[in-house]
Chain A
Amino acid sequence: MTERIVVDPVTRIEGHLRIEADIQNGVIQDAYSSGTGIRGIEQIVTGRDPRDVWAFVQRICGVCTTTHALASVRSVEDALDIKIPRNAQLIREIMNEVIFVHDHVVHFYHLHALDWVDVVSALSADPDETSKVAQSISDWAKSSPGYFREVQLKVQKIVDSGQLGIFANGYWGHEAYKLPPEVNLLAVAHYLEALDWQKEIVKIHAILGGKNPHPHYVVGGMATPIDINGDNAVNASQLMQISEIIDDAMEFVNKVYIPDLLAIGSFYKDWLHGGGVQNYMSYGDFSTGDVRDIELYRMPRGIILNGNLNEVLDVDPKDPEQIKEFIDHSWYSYDGNEAGDGKHPWEGETTLKYSGPKAPFKQLNTDEKYSWIKAPRWNEHPMEVGPLARIMVGYAKGQPEIVAIVDDTLKKLNVPLSALQSALGRTVARGLETALIVKWLRNDMDELIANIKNGDQITFNSTKWEPSTWPKNAKGVGWMEAPRGALGHWVTIEDGLTSSYQAVVPTTWLATPKDHKGQIGPYEAALKGTPVANAEQPLEILRIVHSFDPCLACAVHLTDLENKKTTEIRVG
């Protein structure tokens, strides 16, 4: 007998995600991923000054807080052919690297860890043993028995108070938890440390962009002035502060995050569910020069199909045939039709047309339309994007740093490369790229200081600031690698104003519903075939879905180039 189970809301993510899964004999037969909310930011930016759009689309997401702003300024600079100064490139790289490191650490400890770590079990740990474990995997200073005893006491008090707060009603005691109590205690201690640490690294955003979340950007470079002797510009003492924060971040990643990841991972290496579509896509990013110079990327660009690492195909976001979004199972219409051809983002349209059940409802009609998320496809293939995709493409392309860290880790864990194609592998890939990116962060900061030392203090190119210098019509695309994967913003500009805007974001690729051919996407494919021990407590579903780090406000958005169409929607 098939039973439909529903997880809604999926928590410890950004936004609103609903998973429905059909279970038979304890195994998931089919799964359905649905984004259940929408705002309409792409429609809102249409008709506005393209130099303002970064601020609007930045609010697509407050988790990937700097990400969409950067994709937006890149798209406008691409459209208007604006070159930005080297310092601005470096500052933007640094800010993007900061968000990766911040986001991945927060994801590991605060959004994902509780799928693998049993908080209540930590109460029965022996703090002396935890201390021994901690000291055997890292020389991080906070590792005394007394320290862990204190953390345990803290947890004990929360449990005793009867108010478990954020830990209330978790799946504690579930049979799928495999860590010994001592390792659980270690992880809980680092959950709290990471909470404290994460607010430090984003200070770099505050110095360079004024605040975090949602730091400031400007088309043509950065508004942040540099004057090493000044008191109202980025000066020597602020550069020093950034440097120190980066050193601390490197230490935290290398002494806490990575050892924890490998220690926890080693207890779960037999749990290899959650692989998914095995098609991987990376736009590539982290250029050592101009972002449009793909040859200079430290994270390479490419496509892998059907897990074939022997061949890496090219991806071109500007090719009208490659990337298209379909709406056959999404609550939209195209030119008045509710199904059919896909549209490239430069031609994109997203007219809201809700046809789901009226709330309150128990189940979506998954044979028809069931999500506010569209179905983007590359040459009609569903694609996985994100840390695993980047690592796979980088490994297949032979990027030496990626090859070295992957080979080293596989050896430590004593698993084959194919083990990475799983929920846990995705989580490991996220950690590995964090170790690489925090190093690049250090390199880019060193280069920024060197560049300033050589007398270059320029951060902004004003030559094409005035709309009078722009062509009558222009179009551009800003691509990047966001923490969750390949991100593209496509803009068209007419008479100085934004005439259309489309963002195709990582979670749209990942949380996609079925497409015109009935093909399922990465979440749905990764869940299929997974055993679920207890349908009342579907911990396995959370593990798999969280391994992608869902970001739903990013995934649901709309563009409607003609305002009149929205009237129809409201009536419906």
Chain B
Amino acid sequence: MGFEKTIYETAIEKGISRRDFLKACTALAATLGLDYSQTSNVVQAMETNKRVPVIWLQLMDCTGCSESFIRSSHPRTENVLLDMISLEYSEVLSAASGYQIEANRERVMEEYKGEYILAVEGNVTDAEFLTVAGHSALETLKETAKHAKAVIAYGSCASWGGIAAAHPNPTNARSVDDVIKGVPVMKVPGCPPIAEVMTGVIAHVITFGRLPELDGKGRPKAFYKLRIHDKCNRRAYFDAGLFVESFDDEGAKIGYCLYKVGCKGPTTYNSCAEMRWNGGVSYPIQSGNPCIGCSEKDFWDEGPFFTRRAKIPGTQTTVNPEKVGLYAAGVTVAGIAAHATATAVKKKQDEKNSTEDI
């Protein structure tokens, strides 16, 4: 049963023209962070691949990742759900409850051994802090991951342990890859991740049958290779040494840099500044709010959020915001140099990690 039709066939049956199909593939390639020359590979993959079964487990979470996922514009959520994947287990969307939904999970594990994708949202806790269907969620995760083709750890909780793992970590919260070994795990951090990043990585796995290229921390390079700072709309003001001193001051209106009110953009790897949120409408910094660094490991314990005291990566430099204010021009030069170094170091780390076939 199932699997008779390819994504292309489904699209054609829905009345989509060949031309529009090719356009969609080009857009998808762009979303996946691929070079234009790669488009033909996307087309070929979409012509021959079929809907992939997905089991989506919610561990100790807030459902923010599922909520973000259903906000996707490119590709649209409906297309993801009806044309690209077959979401057979989701506590948020599944019609079935109770033992009927558990039966779905067991059926997929049996019928599609080694072929299904396991998406995980939320962190792992000790057994008594989360049971689902009378089973420890920890054990269910291990059992379901065993025969998955790949595991996608969606969000900062699944990727790093997230908020529950912040001090004093009352439930012994951990990341998914802390307990899952022997199956490829891709981390898609963010609290939550951007919708199109979430659908983009799943589209990549479906299109190419393997995880996208990952960086040294297990994140897809396409979306996490740059800091928010690198593409920030307020970047020119950082370089010019012009900073917001207090929310809603004149500088904030003009678009000065939010560094002094705590912005973690310079140390946060994510696509917010480039892709922006909710269909490209805005992102925190554009709306006057300092980045809290929500895609970085342990960011919850690196506050206070509105005081800037973080280190520039790749250096031992702790930047004192007052000095930044006083010697703005000088520090800017140092800042740029530090960024360049950090980027170079990062690139080297990334190059060590090759794409893993799965």
Q: Which residues of A contact B (CB under 8 A)?
A: 6-16, 18, 36-41, 43-44, 48-49, 51-52, 55-56, 59-63, 65, 110-111, 114, 119, 154, 157-158, 161-171, 192, 195-196, 198-199, 202-203, 205-214, 216, 218, 220-227, 230-234, 241, 352, 354, 356, 358-362, 457-460, 462, 465, 537-538, 542, 553, 558, 560, 563, 566, 569-570
Contact yes or no, B130 A161, CB < 8 A:
no
A/B pair count, beta carbons within 8 Å? 343
22 A-B residue pairs with CB within 8 Å: A16-B131, A38-B60, A59-B62, A61-B63, A119-B95, A154-B82, A158-B82, A161-B86, A164-B88, A165-B86, A166-B94, A168-B88, A169-B95, A199-B279, A202-B278, A207-B281, A209-B284, A211-B272, A220-B247, A222-B248, A225-B288, A462-B247
Contact of B292 among A11, A40, A55, A538 (CB under 8 A): A55
Measured CB to CB, the closest approach of chain B to A513, in angstroms, equals 15
Q: CA separation between A56 and B167, bound complex, in Å? A: 12
Contact of A460 among B63, B95, B248, B294 (CB under 8 A): B248
- Residues of chain A within 8 A (CB-CB) of B290 are 223
Residue B2 lies at the interface, judged by CB distance under 8 Å to chain A: yes
Contact yes or no, B5 A161, CB < 8 A:
yes
Measured CB to CB, the closest approach of chain A to B321, in angstroms, equals 14
Which of A164, A230, A231 has the most chain B CB atoms closer than 10 A to its own CB? A164
Q: CA separation between A226 and B287, bound complex, in Å? A: 10
Measured CB to CB, the closest approach of chain B to A103, in angstroms, equals 10
Contact yes or no, B279 A203, CB < 8 A:
yes
Do A221 and B85 contact each other (CB < 8 Å), given the known contacts A195-B78, A196-B77, A232-B234?
A: no
Q: CA separation between A199 and B281, bound complex, in Å? A: 11
Residue B21 lies at the interface, judged by CB distance under 8 Å to chain A: no
Which of B97, B104, B288 has the most chain A CB atoms closer than 10 A to its own CB? B97
Q: CA separation between A49 and B88, bound complex, in Å? A: 42
Contact yes or no, B283 A199, CB < 8 A:
no
Contact yes or no, B253 A206, CB < 8 A:
no
- Residues of chain A within 8 A (CB-CB) of B96 are 11, 168-171
Contact yes or no, A206 B281, CB < 8 A:
yes
Q: CA separation between A170 and B132, bound complex, in Å? A: 19
Do A566 and B168 contact each other (CB < 8 Å), given the known contacts A166-B93, A199-B278?
A: yes
7 interchain residue pairs of minimum CB distance: A62-B64, A232-B255, A210-B284, A170-B95, A40-B170, A162-B1, A460-B248
Contact yes or no, B97 A542, CB < 8 A:
yes
Contact yes or no, B70 A59, CB < 8 A:
no
Contact yes or no, A459 B248, CB < 8 A:
yes
Contact of A59 among B13, B91, B163, B286 (CB under 8 A): B163
Measured CB to CB, the closest approach of chain B to A68, in angstroms, equals 9
Contact yes or no, B60 A206, CB < 8 A:
no
Contact yes or no, B133 A37, CB < 8 A:
no
Q: Which residues of B (33-48) have their CB < 8 Å from a CB of A? A: none
Contact yes or no, B304 A49, CB < 8 A:
yes
Q: CA separation between A223 and B166, bound complex, in Å? A: 25
Contact yes or no, B164 A110, CB < 8 A:
no
- Residues of chain B within 8 A (CB-CB) of A232 are 233-234, 253-255, 286
Residue B100 lies at the interface, judged by CB distance under 8 Å to chain A: yes
Residue B175 lies at the interface, judged by CB distance under 8 Å to chain A: no
**Which of B134-142, B332-340, B346-354 forms part of the interface with chain A?**
B134-142
- Residues of chain A within 8 A (CB-CB) of B101 are 9, 11, 169
- Residues of chain B within 8 A (CB-CB) of A569 are 170
Which of A39, A170, A457, A538 has the most chain B CB atoms closer than 10 A to its own CB? A39
Q: Which residues of B contact A (CB under 8 A)?
A: 1-5, 10, 13-14, 51, 53, 58, 60-68, 70-73, 76-78, 81-82, 85-88, 90-98, 100-101, 103-104, 123, 125-137, 139, 162-164, 166-173, 191-192, 195, 233-234, 246-248, 252-255, 272, 276-279, 281-290, 292, 294, 300, 303-306
- Residues of chain A within 8 A (CB-CB) of B254 are 227, 230, 232
Contact yes or no, B72 A199, CB < 8 A:
yes
Contact yes or no, B95 A465, CB < 8 A:
no
Q: CA separation between A10 and B14, bound complex, in Å? A: 34
Which of A44, A167, A208, A361 has the most chain B CB atoms closer than 10 A to its own CB? A44
**Given contact pairs A39-B173, A222-B288, A354-B129, a sample of 15 additional A-B residue pairs in the complex whose CB atoms are under 8 Å apart:** A10-B97, A11-B94, A16-B91, A44-B164, A55-B292, A62-B66, A63-B62, A162-B1, A206-B276, A210-B277, A210-B285, A223-B247, A224-B288, A359-B139, A566-B168
Do A354 and B288 contact each other (CB < 8 Å), given the known contacts A39-B163, A195-B78?
A: no
Contact yes or no, A165 B287, CB < 8 A:
no
Q: Which residue of B lies closest to A331 (CB)?
A: B128
Do A168 and B104 contact each other (CB < 8 Å), given the known contacts A232-B254, A458-B248?
A: yes
- Residues of chain A within 8 A (CB-CB) of B287 are 206-210, 216, 223-224, 234
Q: Which residue of A lies closest to B126 (CB)?
A: A570
Q: CA separation between A157 and B51, bound complex, in Å? A: 12
Measured CB to CB, the closest approach of chain A to B255, in angstroms, equals 3
Do A205 and B134 contact each other (CB < 8 Å), given the known contacts A166-B93, A566-B168?
A: no
Measured CB to CB, the closest approach of chain A to B87, in angstroms, equals 5
- Residues of chain A within 8 A (CB-CB) of B136 are 359-360
Q: CA separation between A198 and B93, bound complex, in Å? A: 14
Q: Which residue of A lies closest to B299 (CB)?
A: A55
Measured CB to CB, the closest approach of chain B to A545, in angstroms, equals 9
Contact yes or no, A359 B98, CB < 8 A:
no
Contact yes or no, A38 B129, CB < 8 A:
yes
Contact yes or no, B253 A212, CB < 8 A:
no
Measured CB to CB, the closest approach of chain B to A166, in angstroms, equals 4
Which of B51, B65, B67, B254 has the most chain A CB atoms closer than 10 A to its own CB? B67
- Residues of chain B within 8 A (CB-CB) of A210 are 277, 282-289
Contact yes or no, B167 A44, CB < 8 A:
yes
- Residues of chain B within 8 A (CB-CB) of A216 are 284, 287, 289, 292
Contact yes or no, A359 B168, CB < 8 A:
no
Contact of A211 among B58, B65, B278, B304 (CB under 8 A): B278
Measured CB to CB, the closest approach of chain B to A192, in angstroms, equals 6
Q: CA separation between A546 and B93, bound complex, in Å? A: 13
- Residues of chain B within 8 A (CB-CB) of A171 are 95-96, 100
Contact yes or no, A161 B92, CB < 8 A:
no
Contact yes or no, A55 B305, CB < 8 A:
yes
Contact yes or no, B103 A169, CB < 8 A:
yes
Which of A11, A208, A231, A558 has the most chain B CB atoms closer than 10 A to its own CB? A11
- Residues of chain B within 8 A (CB-CB) of A119 are 95
- Residues of chain B within 8 A (CB-CB) of A224 are 248, 287-289
Measured CB to CB, the closest approach of chain A to B210, in angstroms, equals 22
- Residues of chain B within 8 A (CB-CB) of A18 are 131, 134
Do A223 and B289 contact each other (CB < 8 Å), given the known contacts A166-B94, A231-B255?
A: yes
Contact of A165 among B3, B70, B87, B135 (CB under 8 A): B87
- Residues of chain B within 8 A (CB-CB) of A214 are 64, 191-192, 294
Contact yes or no, A11 B91, CB < 8 A:
yes
Q: CA separation between A31 and B100, bound complex, in Å? A: 20
Q: Which residue of B lies closest to A465 (CB)?
A: B246
Q: CA separation between A520 and B36, bound complex, in Å? A: 62
Q: Which residue of B lies closest to A458 (CB)?
A: B248
Contact yes or no, B163 A44, CB < 8 A:
yes
- Residues of chain B within 8 A (CB-CB) of A553 are 61-63
Q: CA separation between A13 and B14, bound complex, in Å? A: 31
